[in-house]
């Protein structure tokens, strides 16, 4: 029986990917190359430093020291936080607030499990912080998805066993993480991509509490 819902942030609750893309693109352009929106797909759910490594690879840039990489990541993050600082609750994805609220009204626990270190700022801008019993983000995990750490910490903080949790995720690595953690999964996106999820819907606007019983 499901007792808790754990939500990924980017791609499930809000589409911050467009801002990540704009900021990473600006960084790449400054270094003299560009990358496509298709390549950007590969950055979804991936941590900041791991994203930078991928992007440097695309530009064939191999001469950066660790300190320079930190500087580049900080530069990108400054541009990114400038953009997300202007976000409003209007940018919450369709049905997201309503579904999280419905879970809470039904007595289910709710949590965020995100790779983003900017999670607190984003939830604050979207005025959603109060809708989650636990917030596990890039600041509290040491091993990124597909490792289950982020979701296991969420379950632990909620006091719910992993097998009573369902994870909502848009990234393949996130679905893998939840499966490794012995949790149920709902993919947000296309069933062609999220083949390992127990169920796939196009967005939380297509999700209902009844559907949780099919898991």
Report the candidate in 115, 114, 118 with the shortest Cα–Cα distance to residue 134.
114
Contact set for ligand G16, span 98-137 (CB under 6 A): 114-118
Give the Cα separation of 40 and 43 in Å (integer). Answer: 5
Pick one of 6, 28, 35, 48: the residue that binds ligand G16 (CB under 6 A).
48
Contact set for Mg ion, span 158-187 (CB under 5 A): 170-171
| Annotated catalytic residue 15 | no
Partner from ligand G16, Mg ion, none contacting 185, C-beta within 5 to 8 A by type:
none
| Annotated catalytic residue 34 | no
Reported residue count of the chain is: 215
- Which one is catalytic: 10, 105, 133, 182? 10
Give the Cα separation of 160 and 95 in Å (integer). Answer: 25
Check whether 115 is labelled as a binding-site residue.
yes
Specify the residue, 157 or 209, whose C-beta has the smaller distance to ligand G16. Answer: 157
Check whether 114 is labelled as a binding-site residue.
yes
Q: Show the binding pattern over residues 40-69: x = contacts Mg ion (CB under 5 A), - = does not.
A: -----x------------------------
Helix axis angle, 66-84 to 119-126, nearest 10°? 0
Tell me: cis bond preceding 47? Omega within 30 of 0 counts: no
- Residue 60 belongs to what H/E stretch? none
For residue 60, the minimal CB distance to Mg ion (Å) is: 28
Pick one of 27, 43, 123, 155: the residue that binds ligand G16 (CB under 6 A).
43
Quickly count: other Cβ atoms within 10 Å of residue 213's Cβ: 9
The CB-based long-range contact list for 103-107 (8 Å cut-off, 24+ gap) reads 103/5, 103/209, 104/131, 106/209
What residues are annotated to the active site? 8, 10
Interacting residues toward ligand G16 by CB under 6 A = 8-11, 20, 43-48, 51, 77, 114-118, 138, 171
As annotated, the binding site includes: 8-10, 24, 43-48, 51, 76, 114-118, 145, 169-170
């Amino acid at each position: 029986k499901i007792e808790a819902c754990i939500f990924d942030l980017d791609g499930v609750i809000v589409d911050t990917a467009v801002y990540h893309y704009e900021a990473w693109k600006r960084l790449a352009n400054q270094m003299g190359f560009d990358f496509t929106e298709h390549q950007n797909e590969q950055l979804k759910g991936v941590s900041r430093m791991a994203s930078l490594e991928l992007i440097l690879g695309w530009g064939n840039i191999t001469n950066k020291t660790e300190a320079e990489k930190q500087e580049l990541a900080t530069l990108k993050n400054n541009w990114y936080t400038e953009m997300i600082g202007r976000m409003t609750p209007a940018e919450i994805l369709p049905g997201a607030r309503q579904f999280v609220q419905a879970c809470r009204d039904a007595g289910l626990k709710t949590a965020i499990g995100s790779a983003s270190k900017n999670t607190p700022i984003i939830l604050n801008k979207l005025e959603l912080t109060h809708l989650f019993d636990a917030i596990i983000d890039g600041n509290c995990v040491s091993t990124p998805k597909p490792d289950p750490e982020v979701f296991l910490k969420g379950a632990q903080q909620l006091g719910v066993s992993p097998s009573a949790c369902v994870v909502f995720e848009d990234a393949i690595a996130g679905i893998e993480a939840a499966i490794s953690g012995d949790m149920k999964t709902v993919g947000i996106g296309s069933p062609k991509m999220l083949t390992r999820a127990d169920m796939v819907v196009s967005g939380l606007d297509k999700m209902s509490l009844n559907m949780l019983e099919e898991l």
